[in-house]
A = this chain, B = another copy of it.
């Protein structure tokens, strides 16, 4: 489908130079950057962007539903642009490497809903990646 930047153009949203480089930094598959990594990438394209603008823009994109925000064990939040395609995550508990994977959503029985209105499900498979499995 249309890349992120193209979709943004179609919204009533001022696509400034800063916002564009930030959106471009988020483009691609298996991209799960921290705010700071986005900041670094954006700055390579436009050195005068500020950290605050990166945070502001990321939050706006999350609010519009163009990005998914997830909190990782190390305390830093990651941003995932892969919103079209339902997917879950496979994460290495040693090195933190994170991949998108496909799996069926688990169901939640009615008697377990406690009156909540269900919105979606996040699944994280915790694992050890080939590099981190004890050699042998």
Show the binding face of A for B, using Cβ within 8 Å: 69, 71-73, 75, 77, 88, 90, 92-93, 99, 101-109, 112-130, 133
Contacts and interface: CB of A to CB of B under 8 A. Distances in A.
Task: Please state the number of chain copies in the assembly.
Answer: 2
A10 to B, nearest CB: 26
A52 B18 CA distance: 41
Nearest to A101: B112
B107 A104 contact: yes
A31 B90 CA distance: 27
B102 A105 contact: no
Given A118-B127, A128-B119, A130-B116, A105 B106 contact: yes
B121 A126 contact: yes
A98 B56 CA distance: 27
Given A101-B112, A107-B104, A123 B120 contact: no
A65 to B, nearest CB: 13
B129 A116 contact: yes
Contacts of A103: 106-109, 112
Contacts of A109: 102-103
